[in-house]
């Protein structure tokens, strides 16, 4: 199990290799990338800012909780901070498990918990030159979701 | 006693600083610190009941603060 | 969208790159590997045999159904045949979608359908020199699952 | 008419061949072909009602076969 808040590029394939083992039947790699459109506005780039010391702790706790709940130690998670260009990876989650159902559930659980409680903020930069800290709950409400 | 309040993202921009030293009475709660921050210039945009962490762990607004505690006021998170 | 029954090694990271795009927020890569133990018996290697012409057709149909149901054309699936060593990849499924929920569901749907209907058979080779065609339903029944 | 029956995995081993040419009466159904295969040496291990495909698509046992059809008898699949 390994988790990290990183300020360099994430190599998702390396995370996958890190969790794979001969004992594992199923591996799931989740990769989040910077989208070119968010809630209808063209995005040109963005910046992630973390409360680093707490984010490291929360991310480790999220992985440890998933490990205990789903029964695998083979979990590696990296979340990037700093400026990212379109298409770059902001988060990667690799999970291996003997059984695919548990692998999917552990992967999903980690990304949902991460989005709920990891102290990380995102400032999007739009084509019109403006930039704005994203509030996912408000964005969902405005989109009527 | 002195408590360090950390501000992030839109909250840091509103108050114009990433951190503020607060002089609080012994036995002060998180909610007292928040009230102090909201009374500062730009502090009105902080919610009355924001999400907070004390010493790197999520905490309740009625948690009692100690000298030297690090209080973080957490804007809506947007990781992933 | 691309699907293939292949007799060479699968490169899961290449599948992931193939589905990623600036418009996609979430990518899921599922990788199935040869386990060293199956139902308690030590496995030394195995062979996948396919009814190739039908397997190609079924795999394309499975991907097309998932594409229509979950709303993404960014799906690439490869299933390997022939002899595989421990730890080698037997199947890889890459899915990209603007929304992570749909990406997870599409990925899961594809592996479940593939296991249900892809005309592929697996012969495991055990440490004691014996080998046997695997019947997943019987193996589950014998394990009391 | 002649129909080609394809056999795979344990079924091919039981009958000792990956395919068998079957001479069937016009109008014969899949189930008639299966009965013929089960009467062959080693054919007894085929289920009475196996999963089958005709011309690369899953089919029912009461499907009517045509001359030149490719009938595949599908053992329990184990992909993934």
B23-45, pLDDT tens digit by residue?
999 999 999 999 999 999 999 99
Q: CB contact, 8 Å: A83 with chain B?
A: no
Q: Give per-residue pLDDT as tens, A34-93.
A: 888 777 778 888 999 999 999 999 999 999 999 999 999 999 999 999 999 988 999 999
So what's the pLDDT on residue A60? 98
Chains A and C touch (3+ CB pairs under 8 A): yes
| pLDDT tops 70 at residue C145 | no
- Bridge partners of C28, per DSSP, are A30, C95
User: A8 and A16 in contact (C-beta within 8 Å)?
Assistant: no
Q: Model ipTM?
A: 0.94
| pLDDT tops 80 at residue C139 | no
User: A117 and A45 in contact (C-beta within 8 Å)?
Assistant: no
**d(C-alpha C100, C-alpha C89), whole Å:** 24
So what's the pLDDT on residue C10? 98
User: D68 and D3 in contact (C-beta within 8 Å)?
Assistant: yes
Chain C residues with CB-CB distance to D80 below 8 A: 32, 79, 90-91, 111, 114-115, 118
Residue A57 class from Cβ within 10 Å (0-12 exposed, 13-18 middle, 19+ buried)? middle
Nearest to A101, CA basis, from A109, A93, A112: A109
**Number of Cβ within a 10 Å radius of residue A108:** 21
**Number of Cβ within a 10 Å radius of residue B49:** 9
Evaluated on CA atoms A142, A35, C112, D8, the torsion sign reads positive
Residue with tokens 């910077």: A34
Chains B and D touch (3+ CB pairs under 8 A): no
């Amino acid at each position: 199990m390994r988790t990290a808040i990183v300020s360099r590029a994430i190599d998702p394939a390396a995370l996958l290799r890190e969790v794979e083992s001969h004992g594992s039947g199923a591996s799931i790699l989740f990769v989040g990338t910077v989208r070119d459109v968010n809630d209808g506005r063209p995005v040109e780039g963005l910046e992630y800012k973390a409360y680093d010391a707490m984010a490291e702790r929360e991310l480790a706790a999220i992985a440890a909780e998933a490990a205990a709940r789903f029964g695998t130690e083979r979990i590696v998670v990296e979340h990037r901070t700093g400026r990212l260009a379109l298409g770059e990876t902001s988060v990667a989650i690799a999970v291996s498990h003997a059984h695919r159902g548990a692998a999917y559930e552990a992967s999903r659980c980690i990304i949902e918990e991460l989005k709920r409680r990891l102290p990380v903020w995102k400032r999007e930069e739009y084509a019109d030159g403006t930039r704005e800290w994203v509030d996912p709950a408000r964005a969902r409400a405005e989109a009527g979701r | 006693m002195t408590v360090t309040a950390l501000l992030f993202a839109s909250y840091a921009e509103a108050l114009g600083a990433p951190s503020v030293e607060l002089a609080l009475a012994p036995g002060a709660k998180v909610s007292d610190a928040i009230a102090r921050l909201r009374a500062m210039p730009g502090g009105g945009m902080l919610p009355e009941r924001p999400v907070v962490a004390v010493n790197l762990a999520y905490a309740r607004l009625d948690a009692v603060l100690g000298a030297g505690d690090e209080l973080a006021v957490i804007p809506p998170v947007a990781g992933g």
